[in-house]
A and B are shown apart, each in its own frame.
Chain A
Amino acid sequence: MAFALDEQQQMIAETAAAFFAENAEGERTRAAMANGIDRDLWRAYCRELGFGGLMVPEDLGGPGLGHVELAVVTEQAGRTLAAIPLLGHVMATAALLASDDRAAIEAHLPAMMAGDRIVAAGERGGEGTFVPHAAQCDLLLLLGEGGADLIEAGAATVEPMKSLDETRPLARVHASAGDPLPGGTVPCEAARAAGVLCLAAEALGGAQEALDRTIAFAREREQFGRPVGSFQAYKHRLADRAVEIEQARSAVWWAACALDEGHETRALALHAAKSFCADTYLRIAGDMIQLHGGIGFTWEHDAHLFFKRARAIANMLGDGPHHRERVARIMLDEAA
């Protein structure tokens, strides 16, 4: 049967899982929160793991893998809340490749792949629009209606903001112009697609980890002379979240495959994946706090890191209602 990870994809998932579990544990994430990026982790990800150019074709020095592999890796990064500039990197790589702008590719891609050049990406917008990692990056990718611009970080005014999710801090960006990537909206769309998939997969990983940690707690913690996980109101809540996570996984795989195959359901799949996975993560991260009781409300416990990451993902690149409205347009308007 075809709709499962093949052997190589399974291996990539395991490699990524082991890498993040070993290198991106809670203490390191917390340490990185001071400046928003764990640069050593990012370099190791790019170089040792060799995933800096995951989707870069072989003639440009990458392994030429697809969106499925990207999703598999991103899911694992999301599991450990790794403080790395993966989102901007993935979006910028997709935009560069889609633009087919040889000069820009040569100028930026090799250093990006090595983890030396950090890219932040976001929507060009007014006062209320923030770009994650903009205060930490070397290069900015700004997406607009007509197309995408690349801007050297020094050429923009960047105002760092105190951010809810300190593992991916936001900044306000003022940039009048930049180097437009050729191809008009094509690189924009490629960047958004890769970004949306990345966030959906990250949400899936985060949701799975939040569930797993809550299950572990539920088996240990006793009240009324029984593990709290033996109470039905408790276990049924977790069962419901497990059902949602299975659906979220289907959504991510569907979207990733659809992108790789240029499948007709591509747009639908991306909107479904972003809205569904982000909602799932929000719910399970909220439950994680509730189901841990008082300890779940403390700074020391990681629950709030999941809770904050989930909220940030929900807002980025279009919230749930936005993506569902897009689904509605596809199903109700275009077909009419």
Chain B
Amino acid sequence: MKLGFSDVEEAFRRECASWFEDQMTGEFADIRGIANLVDKPERRKAWERRLAEHRYSCIGWPIAWGGRDATLNEQVIFAEEYARAGAPNRLNHMGVELLGPTLLALGSSEQKARFLPAIAEGTAIWCQGYSEPGAGSDLAAIRTRARRDGGEWVIEGQKIWTSLAQFADMIFVLARTEDGTGGREGLSFLLVDLDQPGIEIRPIRQINGESEFNEVFFDGARCPVENMVGAEGEGWIVSTTLLSFERGISTLGQQMQFRNELDAVIAAARRNGKAADPVFRQRLAEAEIGLRLMRYGALRMLADGKGGALAGAALTYKIQWASWRRALGELAMDVLGQEGEVAPTDAEGWPLLTNLYLYSRADTIYGGTNQIQRNLIAERGLGLPREPRGNA
């Protein structure tokens, strides 16, 4: 067992670090350290393309598809240096980390050829159309329908909480394609162009005043039949494969972003003297310990060779980081006191820590709520008897 990375990996770390530093102090200094997902979308699209020019857009993908075939260790290092440099959240997170790997695993060769290059090049931004007003934790309850019309699927229904749909070019949609089915049966996974008649996107205003997520209405929107991933009626398998990426690899390396946030809390505590208060010292220490344990937990999770699989340490990872970050938001506000309730100017969004406090309430909801995570851990991880479920 070893803690450190190899010399070759450390060299890769330096290469990443210096490139990010150049970019973030140079041409992209204006988007350095953006704490939310919605500011300056055009600049961030440009950033996606810059990453692609340097083949840094999706380093874990195969070389043939614009990636670098990077090892898991390299991906962790990359993500750490990315966040350390204050580079903004990826606008195309869902294309790069969720849909891309899903297509690589389950897509046809035509689908790969059609969709992967544009993701790698940063020219097609994707969003995720799973949740519906009546289907959240119980995702299999979705009612959005798609019916065959010659060579096309025609889609009717509504999605909700669709992050970044307003900036996206494409959406992957889980829809019911077989009448009279319920639950996990009869669902299909479709790749749909957002720029067409029959699609309406309405932003939803959030707790922090921003609109990251949206309602998406489908009223006769279309996609060619070739845009179905996996077999007809087997969308559930595709969608859960994708979720395993969401809960696995793509959440790794984010500790460095958390590091930046914790450092900001520490700096605030030093500034206003709370760093000398024994009670705050205990809480700050707890936060520091939690962050480090996340990092080593992530390394363990990678080392077990199953990557995105929901096993052992990996199964507990989502709830670990989401709960940790929510607690950090609370600690931040306790450290700041009233200072945390006011913004220095009226112009932009909330400063980092106030936004963290508000935004981190979502971490324990999206991607499976903490309660759903506990069910998963208890039933799949610990083998406890299943909760009796309604009609599913």
- A residues near B (Cβ < 8 Å) are 1-6, 9, 68, 211, 215, 218-219, 226-227, 229-230, 232, 235-236, 238-240, 242-243, 246-247, 249-251, 253-254, 256-258, 261, 263, 265, 268-269, 272, 275-276, 321, 324-325, 327-328, 331-332, 336
Are A3 and B300 interface neighbours, CB within 8 A? yes
Residues B280-314 near A (CB distance < 8 A): 281-282, 284-286, 288-290, 292-294, 296-297, 299-300, 302-305, 312-313
- When distances are taken between beta carbons in the complex, the residues of chain A under 8 Å from B312 are 246
- In this assembly, does B342 line the interface, its C-beta being within 8 Å of a C-beta of chain A? no
Top 4 closest A-B pairs, CB basis?
A1-B303, A4-B303, A235-B378, A328-B281
Are A3 and B278 interface neighbours, CB within 8 A? no
- When distances are taken between beta carbons in the complex, the residues of chain B under 8 Å from A243 are 316, 319-320, 377
- B residues near A (Cβ < 8 Å) are 1-5, 72-73, 266, 269-270, 275, 278, 281-282, 284-286, 288-290, 292-294, 296-297, 299-300, 302-305, 312-313, 316, 319-320, 371, 373-375, 377-379, 381-388
- When distances are taken between beta carbons in the complex, the residues of chain A under 8 Å from B377 are 239, 242-243
Closest to B323 in A: A243
Can you pick out 7 interface pairs between chain A and chain B where the beta carbons lie within 8 Å of each other? Answer: A3-B300, A226-B385, A227-B384, A236-B378, A239-B373, A254-B293, A331-B284
- When distances are taken between beta carbons in the complex, the residues of chain B under 8 Å from A229 are 378, 384-385
Are B284 and A253 interface neighbours, CB within 8 A? no
Number of residue pairs A-B, CB distance < 8 angstroms = 163
CB distance from B138 to the nearest CB of A (A): 15
Are A257 and B387 interface neighbours, CB within 8 A? no
CB distance from A323 to the nearest CB of B (A): 8
Inter-chain CA distance A269–B292, complex, in Å, is: 9
Are A247 and B73 interface neighbours, CB within 8 A? no
Are A328 and B382 interface neighbours, CB within 8 A? no
Apart from A235-B379, A332-B284, what 19 extra A-B contacts exist at CB < 8 Å? A1-B72, A1-B303, A3-B296, A3-B303, A9-B1, A218-B384, A235-B375, A238-B382, A239-B377, A242-B316, A242-B381, A243-B377, A246-B297, A250-B296, A253-B300, A254-B292, A261-B3, A272-B289, A321-B282
Q: Contacts A1-B305, A254-B3, A257-B3; is A227 near B292 (CB within 8 Å)? A: no
| Residue among B302, B374, B387 with the highest chain A CB neighbour number at 10 A | B374
Are B1 and A235 interface neighbours, CB within 8 A? no
Are A276 and B387 interface neighbours, CB within 8 A? no
Cβ-defined partner of A328 (8 Å) among B285, B319, B383: B285
Q: Summarize B's interface: helix, strand, loop or mixed.
A: helix
Are A6 and B371 interface neighbours, CB within 8 A? no
- When distances are taken between beta carbons in the complex, the residues of chain B under 8 Å from A239 are 319, 373-375, 377-378, 381-382
- When distances are taken between beta carbons in the complex, the residues of chain B under 8 Å from A246 are 297, 312-313, 316, 320
Q: Summarize A's interface: helix, strand, loop or mixed.
A: helix
- When distances are taken between beta carbons in the complex, the residues of chain B under 8 Å from A332 are 266, 269-270, 275, 281, 284
- When distances are taken between beta carbons in the complex, the residues of chain B under 8 Å from A276 are 289, 293
Inter-chain CA distance A211–B290, complex, in Å, is: 21
Inter-chain CA distance A332–B283, complex, in Å, is: 12
Are B73 and A1 interface neighbours, CB within 8 A? yes
CB distance from B323 to the nearest CB of A (A): 8
- When distances are taken between beta carbons in the complex, the residues of chain A under 8 Å from B292 are 254, 265, 268-269, 272
Cβ-defined partner of A250 (8 Å) among B2, B300, B302, B371: B300
Q: Contacts A1-B73, A243-B377; is A327 near B384 (CB within 8 Å)? A: no
Inter-chain CA distance A258–B297, complex, in Å, is: 15
Inter-chain CA distance A257–B384, complex, in Å, is: 33
Q: Contacts A230-B384, A250-B300; is A261 near B266 (CB within 8 Å)? A: no
Closest to B305 in A: A1
CB distance from B269 to the nearest CB of A (A): 8
- When distances are taken between beta carbons in the complex, the residues of chain B under 8 Å from A3 are 1-3, 296, 299-300, 302-303
Inter-chain CA distance A68–B296, complex, in Å, is: 15
Cβ-defined partner of B281 (8 Å) among A258, A325, A336: A325
Closest to B378 in A: A235
